[in-house]
Structure 1
């Protein structure tokens, strides 16, 4: 059995966890909305057409904020098409995903659904085919109380109270040539600056997110961040990051090692933000919004067979296996280890489309990745402790030496609770873990949850929804202030301690 050590100190802190780090994402794409959260006439739907079975699973995840309506979709979105009487809403060709968008579900339906789900709204504006004036009008429709054209239009649509949306994305992946209205860094930086400035004149209480690189592998990475922030640093609050991983080569050790890239991505973007801060002698720091992250590759071949101009096709419907859940656990740990700068993050997406929740016409179920996401959202509250790891390494094909252990510790001082999230990436051996907790006098293990399976490719399906699910372990204890545990081979672990 391999041995590893987790080292923490109650006085060495990374930062407070912003609950929005456990956010998610809904795009008008595939069956994320139609057939996912909304399906009029379905036996599982309520009077508004919202899927009740899906809502219950979303509530289990305790999703604090949801980004909407895209994604690539937003760069051609005319928000006016999605409000008012449904019978008068136009159907449009949607170029990002080559489908027909009926606009049956729109902005106000999303507001209603968010209230039922207990989630805040995070709205994206179209800076691809539109610009600052349209973004200002949308903000007026959503947040202005009344007495103006767009606020009164909202009231005429049956929404007397403002939606009061506080977080706004200034476009989406504008560095990508796949994006409608793709721009250079200088072009985008200017329009982001002007858009944010106009929006904050109208509502000074909002926060705005500028587009960073849509991936670490983009050829403009680094230059993009620096130029964009050089134009809009004073006007925005966050810079976005997006990251997806795949295992086309079917190399599990390498796949599990890829979270190392996510860590390097975050560190690099923080450095770029601080370089612009230093250049401008700015007082504020730009925080990060990692508003798209997940595993995405299982559906690639199936998506090639989709005929264009369909309505809500089965698109990007990855069926996740157990090894995907392990990597998602490591990605969550990575986000938390950077909680001092990452204040918002959105698993992409929430239902059906590369999602922790899947639906059919007859039901909804939890994918394997549902569980680490849920555990982090429920138990990952408080202050992230600077968590050091001493553990054996393995040699990955693409990422060099990688620790077999990923872990982060979070201290909830109000509740006198300590949570340890840990992934044992070793495929062959259990790991014996030790951590000195003498600074946390009186803390004892309350619960040790484990997600594991002998088959790394095991999946949850509608017929077998509990193939991969958490179990309880008795392998953790505290004696004389020393915490010890055994983490099974290839496992996600949540150890909860309370005073």
Structure 2
């Protein structure tokens, strides 16, 4: 096979790296919160009931911004239920996931958890069953200076200083018929604009995210963005994108190229947003918040009996167990987000613990890393400085869903201050190792600091409760750097990273 050649030009900058691209998502769904981040009886639990073993894994994962509390859950959420004395909090039915919500974790507790993990809280408001008044009340409670009724309520509940929450989601997936309070683009655009205007009257520095499409397969995709943005463009700063991927019908070749569809999604939303910008003669460029993205075996979930007529507290739902192939695809999706970082400046891997998550836990027992943990954690740790768009000359292969696709995909980051650089690569070939030659001379790479890969002879190998370390990172054998030229051999179905100094 002809070697792949990658050339890096330090002037070909996508964007300065914004750490919000490494965000995640905690929703009150299944065991994400209860038995996930929160389990008072666990041996590692602190006084708040948070599992400190999970806190350490979240730190290792490198999650930055955490979107909360939903997701579908937020569209019927009453935030007031989750503050004040725990013994007085009501148990409610959560219609989104057909379960019972105890409200033992609410805003105050979750904000303290974010402080434990060193992450930024990104809050969502309910525009499904509620609206402007509830959003303003939550904003006052969370960020108001003492001296007003709701800010003083927060003080009485133990938090004197306002929470530093600057990023707010205006509802969730309001284009979806499954959403509590689902509405048309026209109706949602109007309520989102009015809510955003009111929230910015309270604090002009807020960064607000309006709902885009919940998937590129939605029949309203593109038109939804246009209508919503024409109503709300002047009042919001981001439009959201949501996308999930899975292998279907044994078509691994197409699945490994899932990032092609993500690129199409981003390009379409950018084009639509820029059309609205020019139509309105605005000086502002709309940013994208890809605040739900992951691997999710939704077909299997919908065919299961996870959601049934019982009303249960924290039922096991959406607990996908991920393979090496899943991790390679996830690593490639993260490469795609970085390749489009000039417009996608915030992203949230959905979700964080137990529910389609990189971290799994067992009640009263262990916590462990799924295969998807590794590409995310390494990229978050190594990526610094600016994102560079390399030129990639590689072979191609045919897919049923995406046509002809490149065998190798890659992105590069470089930090001029420290001289550090990092290359992130995937090999989509199912059968062939591929030699890759990367010209890093323009960024001054002198030596390899770290070279790791995620691959396995069995692309469907997984980490499970019984075998938690079946899959992990391995050294990328044979990596060499001489005179600024990096040479690596990528195993089949692999994700790899090389950092240099």
Question: What's the TM-score, normalizing by structure 2?
Answer: 0.97
* Higher mean C-alpha deviation, range 15-24 or range 304-313: 304-313
Partner SS, residue 256 of structure 2:
helix
Please list the CA deviations of residues 302-337 of structure 1 after superposition, one character each: whole Å capped at 9, or x if unmatched: 742443311100001001111100000110000000
Q: 1:146, CA displacement in angstroms? A: 1.1
Match status 1:374 vs 2:364: no
Greater shift after overlay, 257-266 or 436-445? 436-445
Post-superposition offset of 1:300: 1.2
1:167 equivalenced with 2:130 (yes/no): no
Rounded to whole Å, the distance in 2 between the matches of 1:458 and 1:364 is: 19
Conserved 8 A contact 2:419-2:444: no
Work out the CA distance in 2 between the residues paired with 1:333 and 1:34: 32
Q: Hey, what does 1:333 align to over in structure 2?
A: 335
Q: Does 1:214 align with 2:217?
A: no
Q: Which residue of 1 aligns with 2:37?
A: 37
- Residues 172 and 211 in structure 2, CA contact (< 8 A), matched pair in contact too: yes
1:212 Cα deviation after fit: 0.4
Say if 1:82 and 1:171 are closer, same or farther in 2 by CA, change over 3 A: same
Superposed, 1:52-451 pairs within 5 Å as 52-297=52-297, 300=301, 303-307=304-308, 308-361=310-363, 362-441=365-444, 443-451=446-454
In 1, distance between residues paired with 2:443 and 2:148? 56
Gaps of 5+ in 1: none
Q: Deviations over 1:189-214 (max 9, x none)?
A: 11111111111111122100000000
CA distance in 1, matches of 2:112, 2:18: 24
CA distance in 1 between counterparts of 2:237 and 2:17 reads: 17
Once superposed, what is the RMSD of the aligned Cα atoms?
Answer: 1.2
Task: After TM superposition, give the deviation of residue 44 of structure 1 in Å.
Answer: 2.4
Q: How many residues align?
A: 498
- The 2-side partners of 1:440 and 1:161 are apart by 44
- In 2, the alpha carbon distance for the partners of 1:85 and 1:302 equals 40
Task: Give secondary structure in 2 for the equivalent of 1:439.
Answer: helix
Cα distance, 1:473 vs structure 2: 2.3
- Work out the CA distance in 1 between the residues paired with 2:476 and 2:395: 23
SS of residue matched to 2:458:
coil
| Bigger Cα displacement from structure 2, 198-207 vs 231-240 | 198-207
User: What is the alpha-carbon distance in structure 2 between the residues aligned to residue 78 and residue 312 of structure 1?
Assistant: 18
Verify: 1:5 aligned to 2:5, yes or no.
yes
Query: Could you list the runs of 5+ residues in structure 2 that have no partner in the other structure?
Result: none
Secondary structure of 2:269's counterpart equals helix
Residue-by-residue CA offset, 1:131-184 (whole Å, 9 max, x unaligned): 011101100000001111111111111111111211000000000010011111
Report the CA distance shift for 1:484/1:5 in structure 2 as closer, same or farther (over 3 A).
same
- Residue aligning to 2:49: 49
Deviations 1:103-154, CA, capped at 9 Å, x for gaps? 1111111011110111110000000100011101100000001111111111
- Superposed CA deviations along residues 258-287 of structure 1, whole A, max 9, x for unmatched, are 210001100111111111111111111010
After superposition, give the CA deviation of every residue in 1:406-456 in whole Å (9 maximum; x if it has no partner). Answer: 100111112101100000011111111112233234522222111111111
For 2:101 and 2:92, the matched residues in 1 are separated by 5
What is the distance in 2 between the residues matched to 1:363 and 1:435? 40
Aligned partners of 1:305, 1:28: CA distance in 2, in Å?
16
